[in-house]
Amino acid sequence: GNSVTQMEGPVTLSEEAFLTINCTYTATGYPSLFWYVQYPGEGLQLLLKATKADDKGSNKGFEATYRKETTSFHLEKGSVQVSDSAVYFCALSRGGYNKLIFGAGTRLAVHP
Amino acid sequence: DADVTQTPRNRITKTGKRIMLECSQTKGHDRMYWYRQDPGLGLRLIYYSFDVKDINKGEISDGYSVSRQAQAKFSLSLESAIPNQTALYFCATSETDRPNTGELFFGEGSRLTVL
């Protein structure tokens, strides 16, 4: 079946450090891939997405590239800020009905 | 005001009690969803509704029921709560005319504790 696997957290970084959060997926066909972010006390919100192989999604300095050959969609940011502290969820969508399958989430803590 | 509003935000109840979590939205979306979030498990889909007359089970619907009272309202009920239903519950909405865009709009969550 379809599934998403994320690296376990928490990830703890100093401000301005480089961030990578790994995400791999298992799916039939060609899923769309997403990163959602959950700030403390809030619901999830879409961070970025990619709908086909080799697409790069980007937003707020975050990037992720849809790699079909490695079934991966790793999230990266060149210089994190304290305000990036949150839980990040990788997700995939199949079937055309916005029925997302989420990974377990990775908590990021950025310290000054 | 939030576009997707959930009530209550926090609830503590006892085993066997009936609980209803309510969701209302002002986004005008036809599609609404209920997810539960558990540590280490991410979010799992409980029920979803594509319009007032269409309700579908998600991957973990056992022990839950839903009601779509109007386009803007989607309620989740636990008929007889049990401790392993302790979780953070999220309501979400999405647009109809953009299938598979993956953009869900979430409420702030309802934290339920069953003792």
The SS3 call for residue B8 is: coil
The SS3 call for residue B91 is: strand
Per-residue model confidence (pLDDT) at position A39: 94
Q: How far apart are CA A82 and CA B1, in angstroms?
A: 26
Nearest CB to B42 within list A42, A98, A103: A103
Contact B19, B39 (CB under 8 A): no
The SS3 call for residue A82 is: helix
Contact: B108, A42; criterion CB under 8 Å: yes
Phi, psi of A83, deg, nearest 5: -70, -10
Contact B21, B65 (CB under 8 A): no
A31: closest chain B residue by CA = B100
B108 has pLDDT over 90: yes
Torsion-angle region of A29 (φ positive above 0: left; ψ -120 to 50: alpha; else: beta): left
Amino acid found at A46: L
> A31 to each of A4, A46, A69, B25, B77, how far by Cα in Å?
11, 16, 13, 28, 32
A1 has pLDDT over 90: no
Structure token pair of residue B68 = 């779509």
B40 has pLDDT over 60: yes
Per-residue model confidence (pLDDT) at position A84: 97
Helix (H) or strand (E) holding B24: strand B19-25
Nearest CB to B40 within list A41, A95, A104: A104
Per residue in B45-96, pLDDT (tens digit) is 999 998 899 999 998 999 999 999 999 999 999 999 999 999 999 999 988 7
Pairs of CB atoms within 8 A across A/B:
67
**Average pLDDT score over chain A:** 92
Per-residue model confidence (pLDDT) at position A100: 87
Contact B20, B74 (CB under 8 A): no
B38: closest chain A residue by CA = A104
Structure token pair of residue B77 = 């009920």
Contact B87, B47 (CB under 8 A): no
Gyration radius from chain B CA atoms:
13
Q: How far apart are CA B25 and CA A86, in angstroms?
A: 25
Contact: B106, A43; criterion CB under 8 Å: yes
Per-residue model confidence (pLDDT) at position A99: 77
Amino acid found at A70: T
Per residue in A27-79, pLDDT (tens digit) is 988 888 999 999 998 889 999 999 889 999 999 999 999 999 999 999 999 99
Give A56's DSSP letter.
E
Q: Which chain B positions have a beta carbon within 8 Å of A98's beta carbon?
A: 31, 33, 94, 99-104
Contact A58, A45 (CB under 8 A): no
Contact: A32, B100; criterion CB under 8 Å: yes
